[in-house]
Structure 1
């Protein structure tokens, strides 16, 4: 990897060296999937009907979604899937989605003789909406107005750069604990849970899925793509690898697919490949001290991606170059890629670009839980800019394909906002070893260089709120009322005593974190 972006020494040549020279790879089994098939679609729908009879609504919906992926566009089979899926949403008390599916069934060639049954379902749904609570996904919102140039970030923080910390995020005013300052939808995401069960763009499940017009079935027993709605369908990068399987090994397929999508995003942001080459080369020249002005357009997002930090160790470098060579071999065989990287010079550039993308994606992607049946990998652009402390002042967690950051200790104006890159409950020695090996630095926070905290600890331990939390440390945080009360008291204590970290504060921090996470 030492020769990344190195050009040939031959006089007059502007081509990059072959970065994959002498790199051996293991073979991957990539290729195209199978065609849509109404017979298979019907069989899958009938399996869903059996699950429905057994009152297994989620399992039934899973089969209906598989059936939808096989169903030919505009057929009665597709309208049957929408109608049956609407019944699942009704039982799950997801009434809005039920009504959407009923409308799609009506618009999708649903047989006239069966319409009375569908209309009764619609009437039942409307009645239930009036008397029963609808299930909603909890969505986090910023506690302040959004930054106009970075809509995922609150306008009370800003991105800065200096020699000591590089790019980092600071508070523009005093920030109390318990405030949400980042809600970032992932730049790209992919499923880690085997066959696709969610939207190909955002990975959400139990939605009013619509199928790709050209989507086929892969040999992984999973179709390549369904989408939440037209927005996800149009916003995604599926057009570049429609009906393509990167590897029959599902885990490797997911990794390679996300890495490929980063390449597709760059291609999609540019008018042509010549512009892309110029853009990437310019970014390489300015990356060391570059700070983004905004991420409101595709080019600014791609430039930020290209400048994300990555610190692979020597063993990782070797394995990542091997993976990059495998991905390049796959990409160059896809017509949408091969058709534009159509000269030796452009293909040599692509080899270097793929290597850079593989390193950045592998070092910055985060594994997250979408729900009980799906794990996903997400890649953000702003979240990686937060620096590390072992005693962070931010709580960060994932909700689906979103990364959320909440202040869990007060931050003074001008203070830096930190997340933690390591597991909290390990020794200082192990934390420091991990940080040095993986990120190239040692942490100097209050937790790692512990100072005397006797006075601060005495004040905390004597506080009536602290004594109340100690007495109620084992309460049921699944109870909304109890959890809200505990959370409020934790925030009050953290604002009074949490300006600096000391060991006795850890109990309050842990309880606050649990009260936040139990909401999700």
Structure 2
């Protein structure tokens, strides 16, 4: 190793990581890995004292920098002082009736409190009070139970039991509520209550009993069952439908083909990940199941990891090896390498399987790896095969990777192995999880090899799990949903699908489960395609191919990339309008002409018109009345219509902006017409059953609902109701298809659908027959 002492590194050690990788990989570029196995590479780096010294120093710096009390209000480890500060702030917010703010403060208090101290049960109890006010009754019940289990003071427990009873009464669980009240009475009798407190307690109990007397028990709402695999589960293809099979040939490698014809919406895969990790987001995600929008239950050792429940926390056994790294801010710094570490930890939790019977007993990590590789890559997908075989035999593309990238992966795997060796007891645990008596050095080498192999596999096989998040638009009448990446996961069965820039499947996620549906009807014998990168509707062929080559190391030759008429289809949506015939003009430079009429295109004239439109929008932002804002924005929109092709994506954005303004002004019909135009354009670009059309239908249904609720006396009221019901029906279908029926947005849309159905039932004339389509297999016409 050359002397690096004169190189000035960033002060923040987290920012040093990428620079360290570049420097170290440049030093080690001489490695010839043409015949290397993962264990050969890792053996070299684990024995390299210079590399070990640098990486161990960096790990030590990360821990000393981050695994501590960062400020008076934040700590990576548990600290009752910080917890108390947040609880006190929560009390102030609660007394001021800022309940949501108090809940957020109490949650921080819960996260920072030491679990064996007095602060933890108090923080949970305070948070349960805020949850009760927020009418989040199930979560309140959970916090009450956790607080009691954590040792909430006995003399105050009657209050928590009264809160439990209150929740159960609200949920109409009469028997459980009565039991909670009886227990609260017994504890209050033994508690040192003042006469005034006794009177208040008795009053609250009586009020609950009176409410219970007027109630009937309500059955607990059961979660909607997940959709089943079409034609049942395939015994020869884990987590796959009986309608598909896994094949292999020289041209396509392993790939998925339909055995039976399928329809849009049929489920082809329903797969739990082999391993997954949550991504940093503004709202917490459960580290056990990937549930979003949770009431966080903290890890017992660090304050950086949260779960949705105590049971999920107990099941996440692998976190015990990650906890020190989480406190040291290790995982946000190393990105996808965290998932490679999780692959190793999950493999150890499952237990590494024995080799096939005809393989000799291994004495080294390399022999173990070679035994795992010498299996039939189709047969390992049988349902009764150990899942590690499917994970281990995913492609890595190491043979196509440039040397610098490969070495950086190896250095990262080295660092993670050193972390496990020096900061955890993992290597004391690992021998019991491997069915062969390998030496300690060979076990360490095998672990490092799994991490390195995992890094290569995840780069070309990983999935991002997506879900919907609502964005508050302030005072507007509509809200925006956007897709949020919650986690990165590896699904070995779904990874068998080959790529196309025009996929014929839709990925949906329930927590961390991947559910794959047909996006269109597929004939028997047709190949099932996923899209690994940007799709035809989003990027031109050159950009798609460059992206796929960079990450997946192949040149795409799908139909959408080969067909000259289709490969650059997306350019239409950034085209100008010809000044003669209004046809699309793709302007690659200062001089261009219309492809339809061959008229020269005057770019400067169009840019001047756009500039005038922008000035009108600035005037609209400064306008004092909503009417003037609408007028100026409409004028800007008309100018943009002169310049941009009718399908231009920016013209859609301008129409959306104007539609929102009209909705805010109560001009619902004008808003509806603009959104309908956008839907037609989205259908043309993305398809009638796309997620983009689903989002536009949700907007349209919201504005239509506002229109009928605000104009019950309008002569068009019943026609509006019929159209709104039709649009809501379609919005439910498309949102369910693209995101799953379990999404909160689907429940909201179904509620709106039921509301409009009720309004229709209350109106006089009967609805005409067949006004509502009942399946997904038709093209939307608005």
Q: With the length of structure 2 as denominator, give the TM-score of the two structures.
A: 0.51
Classify 1:235/1:127 alpha carbon distance in 2 versus 1 (closer, same or farther; 3 Å). Answer: same
Correspondence for 2:532: 421
- Indicate whether 1:47 and 2:107 are aligned: no
1:360 to 440, 457, 461: 457
Quote the offset at 1:270 in angstroms: 2.8
Map 1:27-426 → 2, pairs under 5 A: 27-28=58-59, 29-31=61-63, 33=67, 36-52=78-94, 60-73=102-115, 76-129=118-171, 140-142=226-228, 144=230, 146-147=232-233, 152-193=239-280, 197-207=284-294, 210-212=297-299, 215-217=300-302, 222-224=303-305, 226=307, 228-245=309-326, 247-248=328-329, 251-252=332-333, 255-270=336-351, 277=365, 279-286=368-375, 289-294=377-382, 300-311=386-397, 313-314=401-402, 315-339=404-428, 343-369=440-466, 372=469, 375-424=486-535, 425-426=538-539
Q: Name the counterpart of 2:638.
A: none
Is the contact between residue 381 and residue 493 of structure 2 (CA under 8 Å) also seen in structure 1?
A: no
Contact 2:62 2:328 in 1 (8 A): yes
User: Are the equivalent residues in 2 in contact too, given 1:175–1:410 (CA < 8 A)?
Assistant: yes
Shift of 1:319: 2.7
Distance 1:135 1:442, change over 3 A: farther
- The match for 1:18 among 27, 34, 44 is 44
The 1:483–1:320 alpha-carbon spacing in structure 2 relative to 1, beyond 3 Å, is: farther
Query: How far 1:358 sits from its partner (Å)?
Result: 2.2
Q: How far has the Cα of 1:55 moved from its partner?
A: 6.2
Alpha-carbon distance in 1 for matches of 2:442, 2:87: 50
Match of 1:434 in 2: 547
CA displacement at 1:392 relative to structure 2: 1.0
CA distance in 1, matches of 2:558, 2:541: 11
Q: Distance in 2 between matches of 1:383 and 1:432?
A: 22
Matched residue count: 474
CA RMSD of aligned residues (A): 4.6
- What does the per-residue CA deviation read over 1:384-408, in whole Å, with 9 as the maximum and x for residues that have no partner? 2221111111012445433332211
Deviation of 1:155 (Å):
3.6
> What is the distance in 2 between the residues matched to 1:154 and 1:198?
29
Distance 1:224 1:447 in 2: 43
What is the DSSP-based 3-state SS (H/G/I as helix, E as strand, rest coil) of the residue aligned with 1:477?
Answer: helix
Matched residue, 1:447: 560
Rg larger in structure: 2
Conserved 8 A contact 1:36-1:72: yes
Tell me the secondary structure at the aligned position of residue 396 of structure 1: strand
Pairwise CA distance, 1:247? 4.8
Shift of 1:100: 2.8
Q: Deviations over 1:182-231 (max 9, x none)?
A: 3333332223227994433234345465554xx333xxxx3456562325
- Given that 2:244 and 2:258 are in contact with CA atoms closer than 8 Å, whether structure 1 keeps it comes out as yes
Q: Distance in 2 between matches of 1:187 and 1:482?
A: 41
Distance in 2 between the 1:227 and 1:515 partners? 20
The verdict on how the C-alpha distance between 1:98 and 1:347 changes in structure 2, with shifts beyond 3 A counting, is: closer
Residue pair 2:79, 2:112 contacting (<8 A) in 1 also: yes
Pair 19,353 (structure 1): closer, same or farther in 2 beyond 3 Å: farther
State the Cα distance separating 1:176 from its structure 2 match.
0.4
Deviations 1:45-76 (A, max 9, x none): 33344455566666644544443344344655
CA drift of 1:44 comes to 2.9
Shift of 1:171: 2.3
Structure 1: gaps of 5 or more residues: 9-14, 454-465, 492-510
Closer/same/farther in 2, CA of residues 64 and 390 from structure 1, 3 Å limit: same
Unmatched segments (≥5 aa) in structure 2: 1-32, 69-76, 173-214, 355-361, 432-438, 470-483, 567-675, 684-692, 703-724, 748-782
Please identify which structure carries the higher helix content: 2
Q: Could you tell me how far 1:175 is from its partner in structure 2?
A: 0.8
